[in-house]
Amino acid sequence: MNTPAHDLPLDLERMRADVAGMLGEAPETIGDDDNLIDLGLDSMRVLGLVLAWGNTGIALEFSHLAEHATLAGWWGVVQRLQGSAARA
């Protein structure tokens, strides 16, 4: 299992690359609207992503991502959290 790239800013393409790494796939194979659970992403891998992405300074929690099953949904959550952090 590949570990997420901690030194990169959290953007949609980093998220795509990190998810792809967890699944052993190429980033371009992960579509914005693909169901990540159907692709094989389990809760332990999601937790690993949450922990890695939380190191970027946003208050990301497992429950935020559990509400969504797509990269597009996750990116929307991250954008809201990043906006909240910027206003704080």
* Domains of the chain listed by start with CATH number: 12-87 (1.10.1200.10)
Q: What is the pLDDT of residues 17-53, one digit of tens each?
A: 999 999 999 999 999 999 999 999 999 999 999 999 9
Q: What is the pLDDT of residues 58-75, one digit of tens each?
A: 899 999 999 999 999 999
Give yes or no for residue 14 having a pLDDT over 80.
yes
With 0.75 as the threshold, say if the pTM is over it: yes
**Span 3-15, mean pLDDT?**
74
How many residues comprise the chain?
88
Name the token pair of 25. 């796939």
DSSP state of 70: S
